[in-house]
Amino acid sequence: MGRAQAQGCGSSCPRTARETHPGSLAEDAVAIVARWLTEAHAAERPAEARLADQMRSIIDDPVGVGFTMRFVDRVARHRSDALAAEQLVDLVGNGDLPGFLGWVDRLLLRVGARLAPGPSPCRDAVGSAAAASAGRAHGGGCGF
């Protein structure tokens, strides 16, 4: 019986040099990470679980991460509503939106891209909506 087992503390006790083996260290590390993940998942609130699912769907979509980065960088964080509107038209204009987007988000992006080049009030509204959507995506309620 090893020292850690004799002390009753399992894999959390330090090992002696004689007991240290790369395979057992790897097994211990995997067990610790598995425990952390289980504990984190058990403590997860419903809103956090939904956000995690949404982020996972973005990552799992082959074009999801690239689209999201372009949307945030070129549209949502742009200081100029007019230039953000142009970028939204370019981003959505090809009609090939990623699969992680729901039908409502697809519709809103397409409507926004149509309204964006219009008069200033339309650009302002589209820019504000895009910034709010990106803020929800990063802060607790995914905008898409």
Instruction: Count other Cβ atoms within 10 Å, centred on residue 87.
Output: 21
- Based on the fold, state whether residues 21 and 79 are members of the same structural domain: no
Same domain, 76 and 35: no
d(C-alpha 18, C-alpha 52), whole Å: 42
106 and 84 within one domain: yes
User: What are 95's two structure tokens?
Assistant: 């009609």
In sequence order, the 6+-apart residues with CB closer than 8 A to the CB of 32 are 11
Q: What is the pLDDT of residues 73-95, one digit of tens each?
A: 988 887 887 888 889 899 998 77
pLDDT digits 0-9 by tens, 90-115: 999 877 789 888 888 888 888 888 88
What pTM, to 2 d.p., does this model score?
0.57
- 76 with 119, same domain: the answer is yes
Q: Which two tokens stand for residue 64?
A: 């999801």
**Structural domain boundaries enclosing 28:** 3-42
